[in-house]
Structure 1
């Protein structure tokens, strides 16, 4: 491939959206060349790492050719014109199956694009394929789909449920991936694979045309390699949608605004009693080092006491179970034989829960949200680990240890219950060379504040530039 713009210092498959867009606009790289490069890399690596359910080669090359035509004609190719993006296989693409990682849905052909897919197309993005996920967007991978391999260590967990999206981004098979989260499915795979991710506020992104696990907990978001790339993709997919009345009508701010020179005046909450009691010492140490960077940039750390996240974690499983049972009413129990044990157990749990028990969860959930909102009167955001330890060995995950599963979700599920936005960023490596990330959580619809803090952090650190593969 001919030389491209000098500002691209990474291998082409690890370059960011801004670098690639400049190269495309200056005609120093064609969208077809970029797409072909990504497709070749998928063909080279994905037979082993297994991140994709399907590769949309012909469709991707046609979209890239259209970007090249527009640029050659001096037309606007869109904010993501020519950028290769993968999508989790819960988002409808017209003419393609939406399996949600389930054997029962292998022939579920979509008749129209999900809203987020339509918006990606309108922005000029090149959709290269659909990525693997755990069965029904829940906990375990189920035949015929296998778990993707974590590129940092093939013997470690790659996350759930957006495992394929994270592995594809970490392996340089796409620039970013459209993902979703109900209890940690953007944050946990981002953590396991050392990536940047954004779980937006519930309702910031339309769920129209998206496979449902638990409607009041489901969030669509982005996994990428930098805050800039997460912001660029979220900018295109966020906003009101007539197809989803729960999508907020609040205007979407400019997520691509200039990076602030410092973080003076930013108040970050920290609950050290909670974190110290639940997270490994190594995780705590890396979190504190990350906060030191933000403090050096002008932020202030304030001691806070978070509301009862452990109770919310427990309640999440009941709320998710009831809503999942409702979501699967068309295929359960008549197709029970096609369900794996974890998803089946969740549905059965939801079917057994009484109305009184469910109402108690709902009331505690509202109380939790109210207490969080009160907390945000004194801080602008707060910091937490994502996982209390590094990605567990696959051998341990195979034991279906309920205590382990609950521990993994300690710092994620509560904020699906509250719906607050969360930004995930790499912050270091463990003693055994596994990536460690942290998260910043803000009030509803304050993604722009998270991006500002995140951009400053990534300007001053290089953890997000570390790669597992060449």
Structure 2
């Protein structure tokens, strides 16, 4: 058996449900590991030890009595500190909201608890879920290399599962915030269709772009979490009413016959290591029986640049209660985005909306001919923190960072990010599959098949 803290979630719960491991002992071990390791990684904003141990004792009693709620029962997990919880503050990575205590759990948290998962605590993120961590809050570090980017905005949700500090996490994605940290930390991240997971009780960055989803060690683990958290919600009228498939069962169907769309020109704007990963994915796809189909992805350069004022308008609304009245408590990055939104006119905003609708339709048409589309997470592999700090001064580099992520927040399409390899320096490189709306099952099938044929997701950092 691999080290307990690096087991996949489903490996863990199979042992728990068979009576070979105790939820209480596992939770105690996780809390001790957080105490020992997280001083270096800094992934947790708050640890809820008392409520986690109480939930673990309840899970142990139920499982011993034969009342197993499902595949998450007894598994210690954590949630991004955008999600309301009644046992810890929800600061959303900000100073302005520090100390806020919700009087109810977010729907996603409640559903995890109902599934028998044990919530260890809240994970750090960038300020307000935008690009930079607030200067007054210690940023999480990448467990694979402390001087390298940990990803944004779900930075803690990427670092903690990679470092063995929880068995899965909840992240959110508005412009790439599940995918960047999943790729940077070598974990699996699932961004469902917009509305597939309720946003009730999740502090917004930009509501029409925000997606909630699982970040885990494997596609099957992500499927198990997604099965628990997805679905209609009376508290969120934008949550889709479509039935929730048995995502975990779908992962056994394999990838044979799935049509994988590839636009070689669109994929050419990557560095050598990322390109090598994409080449390997194509090779494995053929081995798995997937059909490679040439496609022409619509020009996304404008939609990438449109994302910033689109997001800015929505974040200005989300923060109007505290900005500009408490402007001095905001970091420059989030404040700059809010100012961009406040300066965008109604006419300019309507043009953004129309271009977004047009682009969404063009992407939708692609899925008449393919089931999935292949993409990298970003153009450049494993950037350093120093390099990322200077990103904002170069508009073209900012566009290249977002060109494979933000378009699918604008269109609402689901994506899965998978570990695909490493640089020569041992830093992780991820890649994406993208699917049509509500086709998460296809993503999870392909992801599980890829991980059955490779072992990238089973490699862990030396801590």
What TM-score, normalized to structure 2? 0.98
1:405 to 391, 398, 416: 398
Q: Secondary structure at the match of 1:411?
A: coil
Asked whether the 8 Å contact 1:179–1:221 carries over to 2, the reply is yes
- Is 1:114 matched with 2:106? yes
**Superposed displacement of residue 74, structure 1:** 2.3
Q: Unpaired runs of 5+ in structure 2?
A: none
**Superposed displacement of residue 259, structure 1:** 4.1
Q: Secondary structure at the match of 1:177?
A: strand
CA RMSD of aligned residues (A): 1.2
- Is 1:288 matched with 2:260? no
1:169 to 153, 161, 180: 161
Could you tell me how far apart the structure 2 residues matched to 1:259 and 1:252 are? 14
**Superposed displacement of residue 258, structure 1:** 5.3
- Is 1:329 matched with 2:320? yes
1:390 to 378, 381, 394: 381
Could you tell me how far apart the structure 2 residues matched to 1:378 and 1:439 are? 18
State the match for 1:221 in structure 2: 213
Alignment size in residue pairs: 461
* Cα deviation digits, residues 406-449 of structure 1 (max 9, x gap): 32111000000000000110111112221111100000000001
Could you tell me how far apart the structure 2 residues matched to 1:46 and 1:78 are? 29
- Is 1:456 matched with 2:449? yes
Could you tell me how far apart the structure 1 residues matched to 2:364 and 2:399 are? 25
Q: Secondary structure at the match of 1:256?
A: helix
State the match for 1:61 in structure 2: 53
Q: Secondary structure at the match of 1:215?
A: coil
State the match for 1:345 in structure 2: 336
Could you tell me how far apart the structure 2 residues matched to 1:75 and 1:159 are? 39
State the match for 2:359 in structure 1: 368
1:429 to 418, 422, 426: 422
Asked whether the 8 Å contact 2:254–2:448 carries over to 1, the reply is no
Could you tell me how far apart the structure 1 residues matched to 2:399 and 2:125 are? 19
Could you tell me how far apart the structure 1 residues matched to 2:117 and 2:340 are? 40
Could you tell me how far apart the structure 1 residues matched to 2:353 and 2:141 are? 37
Q: Secondary structure at the match of 1:257?
A: helix
**Superposed displacement of residue 261, structure 1:** 6.0
Could you tell me how far apart the structure 1 residues matched to 2:104 and 2:362 are? 41
1:445 to 435, 438, 445: 438
Could you tell me how far apart the structure 1 residues matched to 2:254 and 2:136 are? 49
Could you tell me how far apart the structure 2 residues matched to 1:189 and 1:401 are? 22
* Counterparts in 2 of 1:260 and 1:62: CA distance versus 1, 3 Å: closer
- Is 1:307 matched with 2:298? yes
1:210 to 189, 202, 207: 202
Asked whether the 8 Å contact 1:313–1:414 carries over to 2, the reply is yes
Could you tell me how far apart the structure 2 residues matched to 1:42 and 1:331 are? 33
Asked whether the 8 Å contact 1:95–1:111 carries over to 2, the reply is no
**Superposed displacement of residue 96, structure 1:** 2.4
**Superposed displacement of residue 95, structure 1:** 4.1
- Is 1:467 matched with 2:454? no
Q: Secondary structure at the match of 2:247?
A: coil
Q: Secondary structure at the match of 1:425?
A: strand
**Superposed displacement of residue 459, structure 1:** 0.2
Could you tell me how far apart the structure 1 residues matched to 2:94 and 2:394 are? 22
1:181 to 173, 177, 182: 173
Could you tell me how far apart the structure 2 residues matched to 1:225 and 1:351 are? 40
Instruction: Give runs of aligned pairs for residues 123-134 of structure 1, distance below 5 A.
Output: 123-134=115-126
Could you tell me how far apart the structure 2 residues matched to 1:295 and 1:209 are? 42
Could you tell me how far apart the structure 1 residues matched to 2:433 and 2:65 are? 43
Asked whether the 8 Å contact 1:50–1:146 carries over to 2, the reply is yes
* Counterparts in 2 of 1:152 and 1:308: CA distance versus 1, 3 Å: same
* Cα deviation digits, residues 218-275 of structure 1 (max 9, x gap): 0000111100111110100000000000000000111011545653321110111111
2:138 to 121, 140, 146: 146
Q: Which moved more, 1:384-393 or 1:162-171?
A: 384-393
**Superposed displacement of residue 25, structure 1:** 1.3
State the match for 2:30 in structure 1: 38
